[in-house]
Amino acid sequence: MLNLSPGYRIKAFCDKFTAALKVTETDAEHAEDGDEGKYIVDLPEIILGFGGKMLLNQTRLCFLQGHKYALVGHNGAGKTTLMTRLARNDIIGFPQNLRCVYVKHEILTDQETPVVDFLTEEEKLPKADCQKALETVGFSPTMLQAPVSSLSGGWRMKLALARSLLYQADMLLLDEPTNHLDHQAVQWLADYLNSLKETTVLLVSHDHEFMQKVVSDVILVNRKKLYYFHSDFEQFQRTQKQLSAPAKFKASTNTIGPTSVVGASARRAPDIINNNGEKPNKDKAAAAKEDEDEDPDFRPQFKFPNPGLLDGVQSRTRVVMKMKKVRYTYPGDSKPTLNDVSLKLTLGSKIAILGENGAGILW
């Protein structure tokens, strides 16, 4: 049996995937604007590093206007670094006139400032413009005057998106945007992103259901290269099962989507400057070669330890916590958040707590 290198395996995977979908593979180095739109970014050979480690090595970075991209890859592959550098326009050759906005809803802390005043002060823009942006994403007149601290995760996301409207963003970057959002807020976000026909979106998420609703393309970060797949998650997952790729490789690619455009490895340039502002030397080239020989599909294995029994509790069916008709009111609120709550837990209980944002789940 042939012992194929990981680099050969991913190329073979892309070839087989293309054949399975009965589409034509296009070398991404030579792809041009066509029926699918125009490129707002098209850099043929980028090098990206962080903390002395090379993350991307002479690979093409390109985005089509209006497309919704998922960025996938194993932890440490460089997804967050790439997003951060894009937000700062800190990649050599990146269009400086491109308005790229990183949407971060976690940064909004418990300020008592009214929402409309907060946005006006933060952005140093006319209050009328800020109010219009907030109303566009669903803020009512009452909520415009509500303190930022009262906003749920879903409304904080809408506040962050209102900020992007003020910048008239050409490209939105979202990192785990569905964190702390209830089902209703996630659906709203999916609908909103889909309504942005001229805005390019790049997102990182572990919420596959959300990705299926939004994503039109997938970018895979693998072995310091970017591979482009033009399709959604479900189509990939259906097709993936039919491929006869090695089991280890199949297991490591269960989060990417299919392709009609696959990014090919770029040509080596002897004197190219990387995005750390450094020239590659022989030592770094050797280190990069060592990295290429490592298995990029490694997944750390872990399991939760058995906590054992509590002192004095000899059975997993014995009640270890019990409450009956409990009421809880947040300090300063006039109405209780929780009312008449009863439950009991045993060591064997497996409990899911569901509810809308602000319903008291984190109490």
Q: Determine how many CB atoms are found less than 10 A away from the CB of residue 314.
A: 7
Strand (E) or helix (H) holding 26: strand 26-27
- Picking from 237, 259, 293, the residue at the C-terminal end of a domain is 293
Are 162 and 251 members of one domain?
yes
Q: Any idea what DSSP says for residue 306?
A: P
**One-letter identity of residue 19:** A
Are 53 and 159 members of one domain?
yes
Are 177 and 218 members of one domain?
yes
Assigned domain for 78 exists = yes
Q: Which two tokens stand for residue 213?
A: 């609703």
**pTM summary value:** 0.66
Are 37 and 86 members of one domain?
yes
Q: How far apart, in Å, are the Cα atoms of 155 and each of 121, 188, 198, 213, 230? A: 18, 11, 24, 20, 31
- Picking from 293, 319, 346, the residue at the C-terminal end of a domain is 293
Number of domain units in the chain: 2
Quickly tell me which residue has 């890859």 as its tokens.
73
Are 159 and 256 members of one domain?
yes
Contact 132, 152 (CB under 8 A): no
Are 250 and 160 members of one domain?
yes
Q: Which domain holds residue 47?
A: 6-108+151-293
Assigned domain for 220 exists = yes
- Picking from 235, 260, 293, the residue at the C-terminal end of a domain is 293
Assigned domain for 1 exists = no
Contact 200, 69 (CB under 8 A): yes
pLDDT (tens place) for every residue of the chain, 363 residues total: 445 555 555 556 565 555 554 433 333 333 444 456 799 999 999 999 888 889 999 999 999 999 999 998 888 889 999 999 999 999 999 999 999 999 976 655 667 889 999 999 988 999 999 999 999 999 999 999 999 888 888 888 899 899 899 989 999 999 999 888 888 889 999 999 999 999 999 999 989 999 999 999 989 898 899 988 888 877 766 655 554 344 444 333 333 333 334 433 333 333 333 444 444 444 444 444 444 444 444 455 667 677 666 666 667 777 878 888 888 887 767 788 888 888 888 877 888 887 776 676 765
